[in-house]
Amino acid sequence: MKITVLEGGLSPERDVSKKSARLIANALLRKGHEVALVDLYDGIENDDSPIGTFFRRGTVQPYEYDIPESEPDLEAVIASHGGRREWVGPRVIELCKAADSVVLGLHGSHGENGQVQALLDAYNIKYTGSGYLGCAIAMDKDFSKSIVAGAGLDTGRWFTDDAENVTLERIKNEIGIPCVIKPIGCGSSCGVSVVKTEEEVSAALAYADKYDQRILVEEFLTGREITVSILNDKALPITEIIPHEGFYDYKNKYQAGLTTHICPAELGEEKTKQIGDLALKIFHLLRMEQYGRIDMIVDEENGKIWFIEANNLPGMTDTSLLPEAATHAGISYEDLCDQIARQCEKRA
């Protein structure tokens, strides 16, 4: 197959995306595909650039990228492109139209909120993962929690509002402290703070507000943090996430050795099936397709399984959860990427 892999974009998760997409591209090359790698935002401004050409294995060096400890400066990225704010770069659509499959190695922002998917639909370009509706629903944490709660499933108490309407007094009255404060549409824990004291509220709101989105304030839930990866309508082995310090933030997610993953999680056969079935139910409720991930908290004191959020384009880095779960299900990284690339054949 000829496969275009999209990376980067104007997203706070730009660096994570570049790592995921390049590992995916390498895996697809090893599987014998012809692969073109292109940054959604950068595009192809130079015809001599090797980025954007379809390659076979052995005709290009393996792609590499290291994720910095902190999120990227998107204004600096924009400035380096002459101030261009259009989020689709030159010749990106042309390269996507030339492929048999477009693999979305994107994370966050346009790549996960349905905009890229709708754009590709408009050109009748086949791509992997959820469609624009499922992406829009899953990426909006307020909307996804509303749907899950409306179905009678457990999710922590929350409210969402513009930043200027979120005050300490309102948080204390409606949610209480400790709580979690985050933007409604970011992934990779960008903008997320676990607030344990009243004094931490102001900084947490400022951090969330820098992403220019509505703010979600939710109940802080205690228990075992788990995630369920979904592939081809089946739940993969469950992973328990145990950060060595703090919570599962951007640094703990992408810097090796800072978090312990237990996969499969030690939950017992009955509980494992219950959680897998629940994750798959939520996956369908949110109109997600093909593959994704559902994050939850297991409260062993009251037996509840709390929905936290959904991820419609899970990370594919060497510290990411979906590839790890797939490995425990007997699916190699190369085969996982190949399966994902071929999912486009199921899209009408």
Q: How many residues are listed for the chain in this entry?
A: 348
Pairwise CA distance, residues 315 & 312, whole Å: 10
240 is catalytic: no
Q: Which two tokens stand for residue 56?
A: 């076979």
Q: Give whole-number Cα distances, 246 to 135, 215, 250, 310, in Å.
A: 29, 21, 11, 21
315 is catalytic: yes
Exposure string of 123-153, with b = 16+ CB inside 10 Å and e = fewer, is: eebbbbbbbbebbbbbbbbbbbbebbeeeeb
What lies within 8 Å, CB to CB, of 35 at 6+ separation is: 3, 4, 5, 25, 28, 29, 54, 55
Q: Which of 39, 209, 295, 324 is catalytic?
A: 295
Q: Which of 17, 108, 293, 324 is catalytic?
A: 293
Q: Which of 17, 144, 188, 189 is catalytic?
A: 188
112 is catalytic: no
The packing angle between helices 269-285 and 141-150, to 10°, is 110
Q: Which of 41, 63, 127, 254 is catalytic?
A: 254
Q: Which of 45, 56, 64, 69 is catalytic?
A: 69
- How many of the other CB atoms lie within 10 Å of CB of 272? 18
30 is catalytic: no
309 is catalytic: yes
Q: Which of 140, 309, 324, 338 is catalytic?
A: 309
100 is catalytic: no
Q: Which of 63, 101, 315, 320 is catalytic?
A: 315
Pairwise CA distance, residues 93 & 99, whole Å: 10
311 is catalytic: yes
Q: Which residues are catalytic?
A: 69, 188, 254, 293, 295, 309, 311, 315
